[in-house]
Structure 1
Amino acid sequence: MQSSLEPAPGTPQICIWNQPAPDGWRIVRMSDVFTRITRKIQTHDLPILTISSKIGFMKQEDRYNRFMAGESLLRYTELHRGEFAYNKGNSKTYPYGCVYPLDEYERAAVPHVYYCFRSHIEIDPVFFTQYFAGGGLNGQLARINNAGVRGNGLLNIGADDFFQMEVPLPPLADQRRIASILGSVDETIRAAKTVVDQSRQAKRGLMQLLLSGGLRKSPLKRTAIGYIPEYWTTARLGDTCDLFNGKASGTGGTRLRVFKTKHVYDGPLLMHQPEYVPDDRAGHIPLRAHLQDGDVLTPNMAHGTIGRVAFVEKAESDWTVDGQVTVIRSRDAQRLLPRFLFDYLSSSVGRKQILEREIGSVFGELRGQTHLYPKDLASILIPVPPVDEQVEIANQLQALDCYSAEEERVMQQSRVLKNGLLQDLLTGRVRVPTI
């Protein structure tokens, strides 16, 4: 991983080039601050890197050999630590391309289609890293993009136009103070993310232990889903649950909220970007298709989304799902606790069974056009411990979820704070006083 500057949803577009410069600041062209780099590769032992819009520089080993010989390296530029590269590839994260500094390698080879550059005056590189990551160039990039996105996914932005764009140039002391503040927020985000990642890893280990060995000392028996305690039983999902696809379609209403695959990720049902069934169709959705407490949801279409499992802790009466989401509903919570069901289907063994039932093309021209049908999900085999043990297992795993959720909240609040600071500090709207 190269950077922790992944923008949160809703990252503002910073725009200063068409506004008066704050007192003491100058608005200059990129070429006034940076010089383009077209350095040829001098050695064949450099790491070959590419830019991911979300994480920055990463090794290109999935597509190229580390040691590339002959003419292939003629299509690469040698980049040094602290220098920048602009990837003009279009992506959801950065629709106008992205700029990242090289900070984990002393030297590297990067594709020649990147515009590489370094500063030729004294600057704080973190200030400009934050400015680029915050979308500071987006407005101008949108204007100079001559013909949209090419067939290769690259924006039609020429190098001359790129280096003629305008950027703010505060006094060096201001750059450093702004970089320090934004860097502190980034550190909070990184620390929270580390805790979240560690909690998830701990949960995976605990799930493996509890969902195969149980809480009581007991000999194990071999089953089709692996070893489980002798006193546990197994059951087909279809024998213990109702499984059905959602009935809702369309949007634009006001009464019946519809959850879609974008709301169904591992963990609690996501509440962002609410959508509603058209009011004239809402009355035709059967009550059975309205969500209930304890429902387990999984996408049933598109490779990459199939396999996610979400849990509905507390449902409202006017919630439902669309046809691309399957509802798995325990018929008897005294036999199969919904939370235990969610935990099992979220485990590596449960998820593997879901993915084994994915039908369609993963590769080739029709790649991604895959489906998951309730009748196939019904054949999944699940362990069934005594219900009191299900409760205890679910409680232990939920305790880890709560700990992780608190750090997730800190991370999201910090990202919201940073979004506001980006807009205020990098445009000079709010000045940082000298201490």
Structure 2
Amino acid sequence: RSNGLLNISADEFFNIILPTPKDKEEQQKIAECLSSIDALIKAAENKIDELKAHKKGLMQQLFPAEGKSVPALRFPEFQNAGEWKPYKLNDFGSFFRGLTYSTADVSNDNDGIGVLRSTNIQNNRLILDKDLVFVNKTCTSEQRLQKGDVVICMSNGSKALVGKNAELDQDISYNLTVGAFCSIFRPKNVFAKYLLQTDSYTKFVALAIGGGNINNLKNSDLENFVQFAPAKSEEQQKIADCLSSIDNLIIAQTNRLEALKAHKKGLMQQLFPNLNNHKE
């Protein structure tokens, strides 16, 4: 132990006993088995990166660049539909700040209402199976999350995390809300959530918190944020459908990746003996 950290010396590390097969052919067979899974994992990771890069590039084409009122890429049926119009975000939905609670309200037996925090927003997805706090408090009906709601990090010690957001894209069987450092955006349609993924949104958030010592957004900041959007709901829906199809591919690949990692972990537990049960 050094400086309060757990350390291991080189001698201790190299003297760790790891049971391995004596037969070189068996070692090679195990290595080939695990290497094949590693190759599938790497391929899934690369596919996810490619899909995310494709989506980012497509969004830059489907939404107007800075200083423009029409996008570079428009679906053929809307080529003559006129310029996009400026809208405030509150034209597309409502914002609700999260629940305030204290450590005394936290339940030790997962009773009460679940509370999501900024740590639950990872890679534009909500993580519900860890870091979920349950509290013995009552939230308002507006604060109770619904499928399709977008959770936004409004305050954080790191500027890079403020404004990050993710949609609740699954059905849940328990009551769920967000903490006071987050807000809920309840969109009127699917198109609206993509307004929180544009380059202009990212730039707006950076400017909104750029000059302050406290990295904090207010609901009023987001409500009054102006973005250009199609006047026709049909064009909004077309854009949402296009981007949703890519999101579905990303989710499918992410689920495949997690399944492969779980499979490898389980396989390694079967292929290698438990050290606690190993006898000389």
The bucket for the TM-score relative to the shorter chain is 0.7 to 0.9
Q: In structure 2, what is the equivalent of residue 35 of structure 1?
A: none
Matched, 1:298 2:143: no
What CA distance in whole angstroms lies between the structure 2 residues aligned with 1:268 and 1:428?
A: 35
Pair 307,288 (structure 1): closer, same or farther in 2 beyond 3 Å:
closer
Q: 1:266 to 1:391 in 2, by over 3 A?
A: farther
Among candidates 357, 377, 391, match of residue 222 of structure 2: 377
1:248 is displaced (CA, Å) by: 4.6
Report the 3-state secondary structure (helix = DSSP H, G, I; strand = E; otherwise coil) of the residue aligned with 2:227: strand
Residue deviations 1:278-327 (CA, integer Å, cap 9, x gap): 23x1x3x1111111333222111222322322112355572211112111
Equivalence for 2:52: 200
Distance 1:165 1:238 in 2: 60
Q: CA deviation at 1:186?
A: 0.6
Find the counterpart in structure 1 of residue 79 from structure 2. Answer: 217
- Write out aligned runs for 1:99-114 (5 A): none
SS at match of 2:261: helix
C-alpha distance in structure 2 between counterparts of 1:293 and 1:167, whole Å: 48
Aligned 8 A contact 1:254 1:276 in 2: no
Q: Give the secondary-structure state (helix, strand or coil) at the position aligned to 1:289.
A: coil
Whether 1:398 and 2:268 are equivalent positions in the alignment is no
Query: What is the root-mean-square deviation of aligned Cα atoms in Å?
Result: 2.5
Letter in 2 for 1:162: F
Contact 1:309 1:342 in 2 (8 A): no
By relative contact order (CA 8 Å, sep 6+), the higher-ranking structure is 2
Structure 1 residue 148: Cα displacement: 6.2
Alpha carbons 2:154, 2:183 under 8 Å: kept: yes
In the TM superposition, what is the alpha-carbon distance from 1:190 to its structure 2 partner? 0.8
Task: Report the CA distance shift for 1:292/1:352 in structure 2 as closer, same or farther (over 3 A).
Answer: same
Contact 1:260–1:325 (CA under 8 A) maintained in structure 2: yes
SS of 1:243's partner is strand
Work out whether residues 357 and 377 of structure 1, in 8 Å CA contact, stay in contact via their aligned partners in 2: no
Amino acid at match of 1:241: G
Give how far 1:391 is off. 0.9
Choose between structure 1 and 2: higher helix proportion: 2
Among 174, 185, 188, the alignment partner of 1:328 is 185
Distance 1:428 1:160 in 2: 22
Percent identical pairs in the alignment equals 24
In the TM superposition, residue 410 of structure 1 has moved relative to its aligned partner by 1.3
Answer with 1 or 2: which has the greater Rg. 1
Three-state SS of the structure 1 residue aligned to 2:224 is coil
Displacement of 1:262: 2.1
Residue 176 of structure 2: aligned partner: 319
- Where structure 1 has 5 or more consecutive residues not aligned to the other structure, the ranges are 1-145, 219-228, 362-368, 430-435
Q: Across the two proteins, how many residue pairs are aligned to each other?
A: 254
Q: Answer 1 or 2: which has greater strand percent.
A: 1
User: Partner residue of 2:141?
Assistant: 287
Q: Is the Cα contact below 8 Å between 1:260 and 1:324 reproduced in 2?
A: yes
Q: How far apart, CA to CA, are the structure 2 residues paired with 1:167 and 1:266?
A: 36
How big is each residue's C-alpha offset from its partner over 1:394-423, in whole Å with a ceiling of 9 and x where there is no partner?
Answer: 001111111222211211110000111222
Question: Is 1:277–2:140 an aligned residue pair?
Answer: no
Report 1:229-248 matches (<5 A): 230-248=82-100
* Structure 1 match to 2:278: none
Match of 1:256 among 91, 105, 113: 113
Partner of 2:10: 159
